[in-house]
Amino acid sequence: MSQKRNITGKVILAGAGPGDPELLTLKAARFLESADVILVDRLVSPEILLTHANPKAEIIYVGKQCGKGNSTKQLSINAMLVELASQHKLIVRLKGGDVSFFSNILDELETLIENGISYEIIPGVTAASGAGAYAGIPLTARDHSTAVRFLTYYKSEVLSEEYWRDLATTNDTIVFYMSGEATPAILSKLREHNIDPCKKIAMVAQATTPMQQVFVSDIYDVNEKLSQNFISPSLIIIGKVVNLHAKFAWVANSEQPEHYFNPIAKLGSVLSENKENAKEYAGRA
């Protein structure tokens, strides 16, 4: 039976929030200011690193993007965590949103445990909370909804017909993460099971950022081409609470939307100086 190694470095698994850099928690900011190395995901505001990162920290971009060739493999990230911790370093693994929502945290936690690496988990504001707040859509509200369901979607077969029927008939608010392009398929399944026409759908792109856009529509009258033009990340909110957007919206849609989450371009030399290090670690995985 193999023994666990006891490595004296430490890993901080921290959520960066949904986009607005001011939604970063104080605790996450404190660790960024003292970090030796920061492994940063794609959906992290560049302003967070420019404002809070230790000037001497090594910043390594390990972003993922579905279907894109420049994504960092999870095994490579795991290997980086182990090697950097073995060098007695304080590593901040900075993820977009909250670390507990659709973030592959399980793979990284298992790697840390298997290698005897000390860690802490710092929650962040998840995308659904940020999108709801900045779109003026309370996710629960008296006489509208008393519960919320968070889901992600990549193919209809993952959810049974019985579950789709439940989603169509529930009074719960439904939030689909990372599902902008799948909006037509999601709506098709909900309509198939006769979702209440009193419910509405909100499509929120780049929530809480200066590039945020919100489009609200009736369930049975959606311009489905909109979802094809949405800039990632985007999510959809479905339920009676979406009717509240018209009354409580307080952030205007961006008139010239562009990609907000582009850390390599916006950080320039800060990340390019460490690009070779990232390749070296990835090659060892």
What was the pLDDT predicted at 55? 93
Percentage of residues of the chain with pLDDT beyond 70: 84
Q: Which of 20, 41, 98, 172 is catalytic?
A: 41
- The average pLDDT across 70-78 equals 84
CA–CA separation, 57 and 154 (whole Å): 36
Indicate the pLDDT class of residue 257, thresholds 50, 70 and 90: confident
The residue with greater pLDDT, 102 or 223, is 102
The residues of the chain that CATH labels 3.40.1010.10 are 7-125+260-284
What was the pLDDT predicted at 214? 95
Q: Which of 27, 64, 240, 266 is catalytic?
A: 64
The residues of the chain that CATH labels 3.30.950.10 are 136-248
Residue from 135, 85, 93 nearest 244 by CA: 135
* Domain spanning 136-248, CATH architecture: 2-Layer Sandwich (3.30)
- The average pLDDT across 25-43 equals 96
CA–CA separation, 96 and 14 (whole Å): 9
CA–CA separation, 114 and 127 (whole Å): 30
The answer on pLDDT for 2 being more than 50 is no
Q: Kindly report the pTM of this predicted structure.
A: 0.87
The answer on pLDDT for 6 being more than 80 is no
Percentage of residues of the chain with pLDDT beyond 90: 69
What was the pLDDT predicted at 282? 41
What was the pLDDT predicted at 41? 92
- The average pLDDT across 90-98 equals 97
- The average pLDDT across 173-178 equals 95
**All residues at 6 or more sequence positions from 260 whose CB lies less than 8 Å from its CB, including other chains:** 19, 45, 206, 209, 210, 211
Residue 41 annotated among the catalytic residues of the structure: yes
Surface-to-core class of residue 104, CB atoms within 10 Å of its CB (0-12 exposed, 13-18 middle, 19+ buried): middle
Q: HSE, CB side, 13 Å, CA atoms: give it for residue 251.
A: 23
CA–CA separation, 182 and 28 (whole Å): 33
Q: What is the pLDDT of residues 180-208, one digit of tens each?
A: 778 888 999 999 999 999 999 999 999 99
Residue 64 annotated among the catalytic residues of the structure: yes
Highest mean pLDDT among 2-11, 225-234, 236-245, 276-285: 236-245
Q: CATH number of the domain at 7-125+260-284, out of 3.40.50.620, 3.40.1010.10, 3.40.50.150, 3.40.50.1820? A: 3.40.1010.10
The answer on pLDDT for 70 being more than 60 is no
Q: Show contacts of 74-80: CB within 8 Å, 24+ apart.
A: 74/104, 74/107, 75/285, 76/281, 76/282, 76/285, 77/39, 77/108, 78/107, 78/108, 78/111, 78/285, 79/281, 79/282, 79/284, 79/285, 80/39, 80/281, 80/282, 80/285
